[in-house]
Amino acid sequence: MHPSNKHNEAGSTQGLSRDRTWQALHEQPTWDICVVGGGATGLGTALDAAARGFSVVLAEAEDFASGASSRSSKMLHGGVRYLQQLDFALVKEALQERATVLANAPHVTRVLPFVIPCETLAHTAFYGSGLKLYDLLAGRHNVGSSHYISSGDIYSQASALKASAHGIQYFDGLFDDARLAQSIARSARQRGAVLMNYCRAEMSGRADDGADVILLTRKDNSEQHTLRARCTIFATGAWSGERVAVARGSHIVLKDIGLSSGVLLPKTSDGRVLYMLPWLGHTLIGTTDIGVNHPDYSDTAPQVDIDWILRTANQALHKPLDATQITASFVGYRPLVRTPGAGKNSSQFSRAHLVERVSERKLRVVGGKWTTYRRMAQDALDAAIGHGILPNGKPCSTDQLTLSPNPLLDNAWVTQGQWRDEQIQEIVRNAVQEEAACNADDILYRRLRTGFTDQSLAHILRPKIEQWLKTF
């Protein structure tokens, strides 16, 4: 268990600067847990561990949430389309977790109404009955009851859509994934977790007492540290090896096209669904679901994916969109548990998660989705205790734990793109000192999110940010 609470000062930068955090590694030779991977699952695991009183170190090879965890579809949802797979248990669990995240992180989440335009009464009845089941599975955690809406109601909420005689409205969650990740990290630090970004973790053997020996190396190779951990938990997402199937999810972003609600297009040319969402003063449209062999992150989505999104969206819009209207695009690579018999169609793979023991003191968490990050972390810690790797101590409490906001950066949730130079300079300082940001991409994509909404503006801001980074 954690011997001290030296980094437990809420809102303090003590232990938040990367140099101070690195020094904290020397405070004890053996830690209860080393988490490898700093996305949603890894950060959630570090928070759960610290809240239970365990000493925990997390190592992330790049920036926190730099992979799929900042490149999601921005929805907190139970997986309404998973009803087609008859996986009611998964949907129910996700709906419960949706309510938990909405309650624990109100600064970066909100309930969002969704519209499903329907061509016929038969379609209306079909989708309406499915959504009533969605409501039923949510139970007391429901955030709004689905209901029939008229063509006028559809137009008032989504004026960009073609006229439709019928429609269904239901409710799900909208969230800022990059900011939620930082809230989890902030909350974990306040409870004693030591979180290192741009830090590689390599297994170096076993200590005499059976603990894992782990070599940590800064990405710039400036420093190394060897620590011992009683338990190692791998939460490396799409980089989890053969146990994971990788699916590419592409999104495009445009200036607001007139959406106050989300839109779900339930029927597309290849059986996927398409979402349109109001997002930070823009409209986000996605996503694809294409199985790939390896993640290949770049600044923009592949052209073939952009073409499919535009072509599919335009079937429902009265004024077609074209590529010149796109202000940004991005790709997230979903880590899915390989599903026997599902073939190569990643859209048919389960969105459930799996915690597996890979050696005496090592566990791996694979699969899942953002909405269930907290439950994935809980299951990982419970498994470590159940296997006797860690002692039984405090129960999980993260379902009742309000996450800590960053008052400055989380305000950008509502002020996207409206900053003055002095405000951006203060954001850079805050991002470096309180969230361990190291370079312009860290700030443009995962603190300001400008890279995900307006890449031309990000290009303009980059030289200023790079200059200000030199002063902090």
pTM: 0.93
Q: Which has more pLDDT, 84 or 336?
A: 336
pLDDT of residue 4: 37
Residue 313 has pLDDT above 50, yes or no: yes
Confidence bin at 420 (pLDDT 50/70/90): confident
pLDDT of residue 379: 97
Mean pLDDT of 431-455: 94
Mean pLDDT of 286-309: 88
Which CATH architecture does the domain made up of 18-68+179-241+350-400 adopt? Answer: 3-Layer(bba) Sandwich (3.50)
Q: Which of 33-37, 144-148, 160-164, 171-175 has the lowest mean pLDDT?
A: 160-164
3-class SS string, the chain: CCCCCCCCCCCCCCCCCHHHHHHHHHHCCEEEEEEECCCHHHHHHHHHHHHCCCCEEEECCCCCCCCHHHCCCCEECCCHHHHHHCCHHHHHHHHHHHHHHHHHCCCCEEEEEEEEEECCHHHHHHHHHHHHHHHHHHHHHCCCCCEEEEHHHHHHHECCECCCCEEEEEEEEEECHHHHHHHHHHHHHHCCCEEECCEEEEEEEECCCCCEEEEEEECCCCCEEEEEEEEEEECCHHHCHHHEEEEEEEEEEEECCCECCEEEECCCCCCCCEEEEEECCEEEEECCCEEECCCCCCCCCCHHHHHHHHHHHHCCECCCCCHHHEEEEEEEEEEEECCCCCCCCHHHCCCCEEEEEEECCEEEEEECCHHHHHHHHHHHHHHHHHCCCCCCCCCCCHHHCCCCCCCCCCCHHHHCCCCCHHHHHHHHHHHHHHHCCCCHHHHHHHCCCHHHHCHHHHHHHHHHHHHHHCCC
Confidence bin at 12 (pLDDT 50/70/90): very low
Residue boundaries of the structural domains of the chain = 18-68+179-241+350-400, 72-172+245-334, 412-469
pLDDT of residue 8: 36
pLDDT of residue 415: 56
Predicted confidence (pLDDT) per residue in 112-170, tens digit = 999 999 988 999 999 999 999 999 999 999 999 999 999 999 999 999 999 887 899 99
Domain spanning 72-172+245-334: which superfamily?
D-Amino Acid Oxidase, subunit A, domain 2 (3.30.9.10)
pLDDT of residue 86: 77
pLDDT of residue 244: 84
Residue 51 has pLDDT above 60, yes or no: yes
Residue 450 has pLDDT above 80, yes or no: yes
Confidence bin at 296 (pLDDT 50/70/90): confident
Residue 384 has pLDDT above 50, yes or no: yes
Residue 5 has pLDDT above 80, yes or no: no
The domains spanning 18-68+179-241+350-400 and 72-172+245-334 adopt the same CATH topology: no
pLDDT of residue 85: 72
